[in-house]
Amino acid sequence: MSALAQSVDDDGDVVAALHALSELRRQADRREAMLVRRARARGLTWAEIAVLLGVSKQAVHKKYGGSRREARTP
C-alpha cells in the first residue's frame, strides 16, 4: 500500500486523510483514462472496457469520448 493510501486509513488527522483520498482519486482517474486509451488502441470494445470497469457501456463511452475524442487522440 502506498504512503498516500496508508494516510487515508490513518485514524489521526481527518483533514490530511481527506486530502490524501482526493489525491488518490485524481491519480486513479488519470490511470483509468490512460488504460482506457490503451485498451481502445489494442482493439477492446467499449462494451468490453465497461465490463472490466464495472460500469455501463454508455457510461464509459460518455466519460472517455467515443469516436470524436478518439480521432483527436494520437
DSSP label at residue 12: S
- Block means of pLDDT (10 residues each) for the chain, length 74 residues? 66 83 94 97 96 96 74 49
- From CA 72, how far away is CA 64, in angstroms rounded? 12
The predicted structure's pLDDT at residue 70: 54
**pLDDT of amino acid 38:** 97
Q: How many CB atoms lie within 10 A of CB 36?
A: 20
pLDDT confidence of residue 74? 47
CB atoms within 10 A of CB 60: 23
In the block, which residue shows the cell 490512460? 34
Per-residue confidence (pLDDT) for residue 9, from 0 to 100: 66
pLDDT of residue 37: 96
Q: What is the pTM of this model?
A: 0.73
On whether the CB atoms of residues 16 and 3 are closer than 8 A, the answer is: no
